[in-house]
Structure 1
Amino acid sequence: MPDSKLRLPPEAVKKQHSLVWRIILYFALSSITLSVIVGMVLATWNYHRQTEAFQSRLDYIEAGYTESLGSSLWFYDETQIHTQVKGIMNLEDISYVRVTDNLNLDIETGTRPHHQDIKTIELVYKNKPLGNLQVAFDRQAVLTEASQTAIMMIIAQLASLLLLTSLLVFVVHRLITSRIRDMALEVNERIDSNSSEALSIPESAVHDEIDILIHAFNTLSEKMNNELKQKTRAQQQLKQVNSELEDRVEERTQSLQTTIDELNHALKALNKTQGKLIEAEKLSALGGMVAGISHEINTPLGLCITIHSYIDDHYQQLKSGFDSGQITKQDFSDFVAIMDESLGIMDKNLQRAAHLIKSFKQVSEDQTGEHIRDFSVKDYLNEILETLSPKFKKTRHQVHIDCSEHMRMSTYPGAISQVMTNLLMNSLIHGFENKEQGNINILIAEEKGNAVIRYSDDGKGLNEEAKQKIFDPFYTTKRGQGGTGLGMHLVYNIVNQRLQGDITIEKDCGCEGACFRLIIPKKLDVSDS
């Protein structure tokens, strides 16, 4: 066993035998488990062997006693029956015998066991059943014998185990733990002295695993000494490099800070410019709408002025005739007919102008205002189309709206107007470029409290780059031709932020041109807006 007088660190004193005891514990547990298993197997085997022996004796009883017992029952020789029962009881491991006939004979000896352990043999004489012979063996005695045999086997194995364990402790201590302890002592001394010298423990002649470990440690110590020398030289060089690097870092830091300040200033200016461009995009769309509506209103107003001049000319003629007394009934009838026709034309054109002004006023107020209101979706889309009618009158492109008359929304109508106006103008400018006619389909349905808008055209569509970048700011295919690249970026921001919805490109929508899917809450939560 280890020498307790040797000085060891506290941790080593507590665990100096841990390896030995773990080996012994594992060995003992394995041996005990194996012994128990072997004992149980042996007991089971003995029990089955005794059971088979009982079956053999049962066959012997059936062959040797059933005929004579049947004859005794036939002649009702009770003395002979008692003698035969006693003979059966004298057989090994037989604990119970009973003979009964079909009348009232019942001879029983021994302790009656559970009915499942009783074997019944029919007694026959001259092919005539006369009674039964019941036999049972002493199961408890068999179990006791098998258990005692197993226990003796386990005790013998445990004794062997104790002897083998003692030998194992001696061998492990002699060959392993004492040498590991000596290594640990020297390693601790080198740790205390901060030394990397090789171990003084000599290697044995057999060159076992402990010797390999000692050799590896000595090799590692030599390598560490070499690395320590190199590290000392490297630290000296690193110290010099660090000094030079600190000067460079300070210089670069000042330069970087200056650059960061310039970039921050440029970023603020860029954000400010972007905001102005977005506002300009809104005003540009509104300005284009104003120009188109102005031109559209000029037509009915011009007709009204022409009709007014026409009426005035005929009125002056009628007045001159009246003053001179030359007016006739036919002249007055013609003037009344002219007035009816002219007033009808004026009324139709003034109604047209008033309707255009009303649509423009509602849409422009929505675009410049920031108010939530409840509105009919289909009627509002028609008002937006009215404001864009000057653009579509110049082409043969058609807009088809598929929406329920009863569908309503409570949100920012101006935001809806800006989104739809940008989409429609994009189709005209980009989708239908070099195409004289085309169709735009706007399908609106309700789904889980949201308005799902599917906007598509049969224009030239979007290439892969446009599908990836169409919502990016300043991306346009009309660079240098008046395009700012903010239209679809503005649409994306309005849908996602202002309307709290989502807009995506449908890649497999079944149409030739562009296709967008918008999901917008029907009723905007004011607290979240």
Structure 2
Amino acid sequence: MKATNLSRTLLTRVLSFYFVLTFLVTCVQIGAEYVNTKDNIKKELLTIERTFSSSLTRAVWELNTQQAVDIAQGLVDIPTIKGIRVTDENNQVITQLGEVSNSTEYQLLNENDGYLHINSTSDGLFGHSFSLIFEFSGRTTKVGSVTLLSSNQVIFDRIEVGIYFLIGNAMVKTAALVFLFTIAFNKLLTNPLNELTEQINQFDVDDPEASKLHIINYENNELSVLQDSYNNLISELVRHKEELASAQLEVMSTNNKLDEQNLILEQEVARKTSSLSNTMLKMETQQRELLEQQTQLKAENLRRSNTEKTLTQTNKELKNSITELNKAQERLLEAEKMALLGSLSAEVTHEVNTPIGVSITSTSYLSDLLSFLKNDIQENKLSKKGLESFVEKAEQSLELQLNNLNRASDLISSYKQVAVDQTSDKIRQIDLVKYTHEIVNSLTPKIKKTNHVININCAEAVEVYCHAGAISQIFTNLIINSLKHGLENVDHGEINIEISKQNNTIHIRFSDNGIGVPEEQLDHIFEPFYTTKSGEGGTGLGTHIIHGLVVDTLNGKIEASSPEGQGLTFDISFDNMQ
């Protein structure tokens, strides 16, 4: 099967996400430009109203139709206005110019600012309507109304250059990012991996020492760790090969000494046989028996020699196998712990993105409010109502930012302490109840996906001097074990953690209301690699890690029980180390 290029795969996924994000952000920016420009046009229509309403009112009041038509013609010549309609007090059309027809229907959306929704065969029209009020002798009379119309084409003409700039900016940044990522991936991943693979393929069985990896890598990363591990394996192979050669020399020396002893024995037997043959005839029979015994002794010596050699070799191979197995088990346990921590890191990062994204959005909204306030101040249009509205919205925005940033800070703080402890063997004093809450908070991304509840019960604070990292790993594995196994098919699960202290002994009772564990499986629950989900990604190391941390690290005891229909319970006890 053709191998997949890891660098290309990672680059493709990262850039795909960036392309989608850049496209969405650019669309949002274009939409914002459109809305902002449309609002500016509406403000221009209001300015035109304040400028020409008095002259149009007098022309309509004096029934000077020609003057009203001239004013309307002048307004239509303004680029912002695409059409105008002037009616009298009986709603009879005095004049209409531009993109206006009798079939056009108008619907007033907001009586305060006169904004219109227009149903017309001409798409993209919007406008502003206002009444013509004439004041005479302290009395006001409506003499008519005016409708000013604009269109989306005006908006597009204004933001056309901005749209091109946004698209060009996104394309330039995307091209630069593709170039930089390509260089970085080739330098940091593809080239070192190719060099590593080439040197491994040149492995020489007869001279392992010359097959060690020698890669020029100035950064201490995973490739450096892989190189060191491979070279250590080669060193171990060379050392075992030398020990085997030494053992073979010892066996050959022993066989030579045994041959010399056999030769001496044969000479002694021959001498005694020769002297006794002249003395008495009966000794001939004894001599033959002695020769037979000698033959049997040689065979027995040879058999014992072969057996000793076999046992020696088997014993050495067994010791090496046990050593390698212990090392592999330690590496596997450490990998399981780090995999769990890596999973938590990814989910905490995803969880933190939400409040930070809300804070960024709120900050952008506050920036827009400040821009509008600045424009109103510069145009001397700032009112008390507008200022109060700004203050109210700004307070809401700041409160939203503060709440979300505090939420992100709490989640990062809890995860930071738990992550540091899980990678450290440091012994320190902790408040066990408070620390347990921090561990549960760090697991919030996993818990929030379910309807389960975690209850921590303790009458008072429990100060304990112990391995904080062991406590963190124990609770993390227990909670994840319950979520993955015990509460997998439970809609509303419950996990109870009870903590107590008697004299110098800490007692922890961890239980859930899940499906529990059958009695025949409960006896194997702490065995390594024992899992009921071997085909679904289970490693069978979770409870084994818990048992090792409680017994070996904390010098404590752990027992598991699962009454039928009552879930699974772990009872843990250990002594304060201070």
TM-score normalised by length of structure 1? 0.52
Q: Residues of 2 paired with 1:370 and 1:403: CA distance?
A: 26
Of 423, 447, 454, which aligns to 1:368? 423
List per-residue Cα deviations over 1:229-267 (Å, max 9, x = no partner). Answer: xxx999997765553233233224323333333332222
Aligned partner of 2:16 in structure 1 is: none
Matched letter for residue 414 of structure 2: S
Verify: 1:349 aligned to 2:380, yes or no: no
Distance 1:235 1:476 in 2: 64
Q: CA deviation at 1:339?
A: 0.4
Asked if 1:385 is matched to 2:407, the reply is no
The letter of the residue matching 1:475 is: Y
User: Quick check: 1:307–1:346 contact (8 Å CA) kept in 2?
Assistant: yes
Q: How does 1:63-462 map to 2 (within 5 A)?
A: 240-462=295-517
Q: Residue 348 of structure 1: CA displacement?
A: 0.7
**Secondary structure, aligned partner of 2:539:** coil
In structure 2, the CA distance between the partners of 1:353 and 1:239, relative to structure 1 (3 Å rule), is same
Judged with a 3 Å threshold, the aligned counterparts in structure 2 of structure 1 residues 511 and 419 are, in CA distance, closer, same or farther, namely farther
Query: Counterparts of 2:570 and 2:289 in 1: how far apart (Å)?
Result: 64
**1:68-91 deviation line (CA, Å, top 9, x unaligned):** xxxxxxxxxxxxxxxxxxxxxxxx
Which region of structure 1 is more displaced relative to structure 2, 388-397 or 255-264?
A: 255-264
More relative contact order in 1 or in 2 (CA 8 Å, sep 6+)? 1
Q: Report the Cα distance in structure 2 between the residues aligned to 1:482 and 1:257, rounded to whole angstroms.
A: 41
Pair 333,436 (structure 1): closer, same or farther in 2 beyond 3 Å: same
1:514 aligns to what?
A: 568
Which residue of 1 is the match for residue 577 of structure 2? 524
Q: Is the 8 A contact 1:300 1:352 kept in 2?
A: yes
- Secondary structure of the residue aligned to 1:469 is coil
Structure 1, residues 15-47: CA drift from partner, whole Å, max 9, x if none?
A: xxxxxxxxxxxxxxxxxxxxxxxxxxxxxxxxx
Residues 496 and 234 (structure 1), Cα distance of their counterparts in 2 relative to 1, 3 Å cut: farther
Find the residue that maps to 2:348 and give its secondary structure: helix
Matching residue's letter, 1:342 = S
TM superposition shift of 1:503? 0.5
Counterpart secondary structure, 1:300: helix
Which one-letter code corresponds to 1:325 in the other structure?
N
Residue 330 to residue 358, structure 1, CA distance change in 2 (3 Å): same
Does the C-alpha gap of structure 1 residues 379 and 242 become closer, same or farther in structure 2, counting only changes over 3 Å? same
Checking the alignment, whether the CA contact within 8 Å between 2:517 and 2:562 is kept in structure 1 is no
In the TM superposition, residue 274 of structure 1 has moved relative to its aligned partner by 1.2
AA aligned to 2:509 is R
Q: Which amino acid aligns with 1:517?
A: D
Conserved? CA contact 1:432–1:460, under 8 Å: yes
Question: In the alignment, does 2:537 pair up with 1:471?
Answer: no
Secondary structure class of the residue paired with 1:256 = helix
Q: Which amino acid aligns with 1:462?
A: V
Are the aligned partners of 1:376 and 1:405 in contact in 2 as well (CA < 8 Å)?
Answer: no
**Distance verdict in 2 for CA 1:233–1:349, change over 3 Å:** farther
Distance (whole Å) between structure 1 residues aligned to residue 521 and residue 559 of structure 2: 13
Task: Report how far residue 492 of structure 1 moved.
Answer: 1.0
- Cα distance between partner residues in 2 of 1:235 and 1:503: 66
Give 5+ residue unaligned stretches, structure 2: 1-286
Q: In structure 2, what is the Cα distance between the partners aligned to 1:328 and 1:241?
A: 122
C-alpha distance in structure 2 between counterparts of 1:517 and 1:497, whole Å:
16
On the 8 A contact 2:514/2:566 being kept in 1, the answer is yes
The DSSP-based 3-state class of the residue aligned with 2:418 is: helix
Q: Is the 8 A contact 2:493 2:514 kept in 1?
A: yes
What SS class does the counterpart of residue 459 from structure 1 fall into? coil
Q: Render the CA deviation track for 1:405-428: whole Å, top value 9, x for unaligned.
A: 322212122211110111111001
Q: Secondary structure of the residue that 1:475 maps to in structure 2?
A: coil
Letter in 1 for 2:528: P
Note the C-alpha offset of 1:437: 2.4
Alpha-carbon distance in 1 for matches of 2:497, 2:294: 73
Aligned partners of 1:435 and 1:452: how far apart in 2?
28
Aligned-pair identity in percent equals 39
Q: Which amino acid aligns with 1:424?
A: I
Per-residue deviation at 1:513? 1.1
Query: Within 2, Cα distance between the matches of 1:417 and 1:282?
Result: 11
**Separation of aligned partners in 2, 1:241 and 1:438:** 76
Moved more, 432-441 or 232-241: 232-241
Q: What's the offset of the Cα at 1:485?
A: 2.0
Q: 1:236 to 1:512 in 2, by over 3 A?
A: farther
Equivalent AA in structure 2 for residue 524 of structure 1: M
Cα distance in 2 for residues equivalent to 1:354 and 1:490: 30
Task: Return the offset for 1:335.
Answer: 1.2
Tell me, yes or no, if the aligned pair for 2:518 and 2:562 is still in contact at 8 Å: no
Cα distance change of structure 1 residues 384 and 244 upon mapping to structure 2, 3 Å threshold: same
> Any unmatched runs of 5+ in structure 1?
1-231
Assess if the C-alpha contact under 8 Å between 2:515 and 2:565 holds in 1: no
Task: Note the alpha carbon deviations across 1:160-217, whole angstroms, 9 max, x for none.
Answer: xxxxxxxxxxxxxxxxxxxxxxxxxxxxxxxxxxxxxxxxxxxxxxxxxxxxxxxxxx
Question: Which residue identity does 1:365 align to in structure 2?
Answer: V
- Note if contact 1:507-1:515 (Cα within 8 Å) is conserved in structure 2: yes
Letter in 2 for 1:439: E
